[in-house]
Amino acid sequence: MDEYLNQGIKDVIRQFPEVGDILNEYDIGCVPCAVGTCLLKDIIDIHNVPPDEERELMARISGAVHPDQAPAAPGIERKPRPSPKQSYSPPMQKLVDEHTLIKRLVALIPQIMEHLDVESEEGRQIVIDGVDFIRSYADRYHHAKEEDILLKYFDEGLEIIKTIYEDHETGRAHVRATLQALEDGDKEAVREHLDAYRELLTEHIEKEDGILYPWMDRSLSMTQIGELYARFNAKDEGFGDAPKKYQALINRLEQEFAQKEAVR
Ligand SMILES: [Fe+2]
Ligand SMILES: [Fe+2]
């Protein structure tokens, strides 16, 4: 069993498909997960499986990979779990709160796509405003805090950390492509890249809120958490009133689209 603990979960599932079914029963979505290179032993820690379920889960996985042997439940070294209810440390809560505003922009994308007008200046301006939010608030303000500060506390060779960087880069590529398509007057391509960005960010934020941040909270020391909070605050100071400006932009866009819906 120990040999499988150090294997990528997708490889284990490929060899023993039943392992994917077992993980699904514990709400650990390794089968549909786009990453899938986490090691089997890290799954328990990253997904924070409660200790009582851990023994049972590992015994079942052991039974699936060694059906001819008596079930064994290898112990996995895990970080302490602060509380059964999901809560975040102050710096992580700050990032979760920033996600709330980013999710409001993401929720507007279907309406932006539906009313898309690349011919008029007013129509193009809505896309430009959305892209300005993504580049300034989501990327320079929020993602930069993750990349320049938070992720530096962790081994950048870990698959989950590499995935976060890759998601940010993929998002930037969709934003560049959206602007290019807008310049070319290519409505379909604008739609395609905005929709791809919506899908990417939805999954990315779920991954961070549900898996990455809780795992990071369990991994960081109290001193590191305090340091992180101070460094986030220092970074915020450099942005002055910009977050308020982007909050106002989202409020305005929501109102504009609500009015468009009301007159239909
Ligand atoms: Fe991120
Ligand atoms: Fe984030």
The ligand that comes nearest to the alpha carbon of residue 147 is 1
Cα 92 to ligand 2 centroid, rounded to whole Å: 10
Distance 50 CA to ligand 2 centre (A): 25
Q: pLDDT tens string for the chain (264 positions)?
A: 777 787 777 788 888 888 888 877 777 777 666 556 677 777 766 676 767 777 777 878 888 888 887 666 666 666 655 445 669 999 999 999 999 999 999 999 999 999 999 999 999 999 999 999 999 999 999 998 999 999 999 999 999 999 999 999 999 999 999 999 999 999 999 999 999 999 999 999 999 999 999 999 999 999 999 999 999 999 999 999 999 999 999 999 999 999 988 877
Separation in Å, CA 60 to CA 1, 57, 237, 254: 11, 5, 51, 48
CB count in 10 Å sphere of residue 15: 12
Q: What are phi and psi of 263, to 5 degrees?
A: -90, 0
In Å, how far are 144, 220, 230, 257 from 95, measured between CA atoms?
Answer: 11, 16, 13, 27
Q: What is the CA(187)–ligand 1 centre distance, in A? A: 28
DSSP conformational letter for 153: G
| Residue 209 Cα to ligand 1 middle (Å) | 10
Smallest CA-to-CA distance from 84 within 50, 38, 122, 34 is with: 50
Cα separation, 7 vs 42, whole angstroms: 10
How much is the pTM?
A: 0.75
**CA 263 to centroid of ligand 1, rounded, Å:** 37
| Whole-angstrom distance, CA of residue 226 vs CA of residue 222 | 6
The Å distance, Cα 146 to ligand 2 centre, comes to 7
